[in-house]
């Protein structure tokens, strides 16, 4: 499929070169190659092979993905969303509804983070002791209750 897509890209660029002015608008060594055609400008991403059609409007170059690229792009996004959902389900991560965390959820997260950092600092102290360095004592924390 990727080879067919690249063939389409090459054919489109070749047609643009044959039927358009064929004048390159940008260096071919950069990420994008711009070619002027009779209907506007074609931009090819040399890293991904994606093609966009561009027009000049009020002194700016406005580019839109080609229809085939848009479909492939949306299909890739949908496939990635499915993979993420499957990985989250496998890891036991609950589905999110983007609602703000409750105070209890926030406090639980902070307690877990505090436990992580305390354990991490304990490991650091062990390493400092192994290398003969005096451990740095953290400042006492105020009572949070």
pLDDT at 114 over 90: yes
Q: What is the pLDDT of residue 82?
A: 93
Backbone angles phi, psi at 42, to 5 degrees: -110, 130
Contact 20, 37 (CB under 8 A): yes
pLDDT at 43 over 50: yes
Contact 71, 65 (CB under 8 A): no
d(CA 41, CA 62): 10
Most confident of the following: 30-34, 62-66, 89-93, 108-112: 108-112
Tokens of 75: 């299909």
Name the band, by pLDDT with cuts 50, 70 and 90, for residue 88. confident
Query: What is the DSSP code string of 29-71?
Result: TSSEEEEEETTEEEEEETTT--EEEEEEETTEEEEEE-HHHHH
d(CA 58, CA 24): 21
β-sheet bridge partners, residue 60: 57
Tokens of 68: 């085939």
How big is the chain, counted in residues?
Answer: 145
Contact 54, 34 (CB under 8 A): yes
Backbone angles phi, psi at 127, to 5 degrees: -65, -40
Q: What is the pLDDT of residue 95?
A: 67
């Amino acid at each position: 499929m990727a080879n067919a897509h690249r063939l389409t890209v090459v054919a489109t660029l070749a047609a643009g070169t044959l039927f358009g002015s064929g004048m390159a608008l940008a260096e071919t060594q950069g990420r994008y190659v711009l070619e002027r055609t009779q209907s506007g400008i074609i931009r090819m991403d040399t890293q991904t092979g994606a093609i966009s059609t561009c027009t000049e409007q009020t002194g700016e170059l406005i580019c839109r993905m080609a229809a085939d690229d848009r479909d492939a792009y949306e299909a890739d996004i949908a496939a990635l969303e499915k993979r993420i959902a499957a990985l989250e389900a496998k890891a036991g991560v609950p589905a999110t509804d983007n609602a703000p965390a409750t105070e209890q959820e926030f406090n639980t997260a902070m307690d877990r983070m505090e436990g992580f950092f305390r354990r991490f600092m304990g490991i650091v102290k062990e390493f400092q002791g192994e290398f003969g360095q005096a451990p740095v004592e953290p400042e006492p924390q105020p009572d949070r209750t």
